[in-house]
Amino acid sequence: MKILHKNEGTYVDYSLSGNILSFREGELTVDLAELQRDYPVSICISENKAGSLTLGAAWRYVAEIELPARRSIVEKTGVADDHGFPVLRRVYLPLSTGDVVLTLWALKEAE
């Protein structure tokens, strides 16, 4: 996972385990593979005024996750249709977390 810092200061704690990205020791968890689509996806993580993390825009940005579009291959099923042509199927490749970009905003500005 590529990490970008938007400004200087203290950032939210995060950890990546497989495809699961957790913030603040599990306060908010995101299954990256589940949110991936056939097009690039941006997910905003914010903090509300009560200090809780939430998906989407709230009081202040904490992080943004950029997921690449799903990649797939087409493979033969080993079966032919009524006209003798091979039946094909699309197989989605697993998410490569190395292609995910996590952008962090400081919770507290550096002094």
pLDDT digit string, tens, across residues 18-50? 999 999 999 999 999 999 999 999 999 999 999
Identify whether the C-beta of residue 75 lies closer than 8 Å to the C-beta of residue 88: yes
| Mean of pLDDT values over 75-96 | 93
Domain spans in the chain, listed from the N-terminal domain onward: 2-109
Q: Quickly state the pLDDT bin for 108 (edges 50, 70, 90).
A: confident
Residue 14 pLDDT > 90, yes or no? yes
User: How confident is the model at residue 109, as a pLDDT?
Assistant: 62
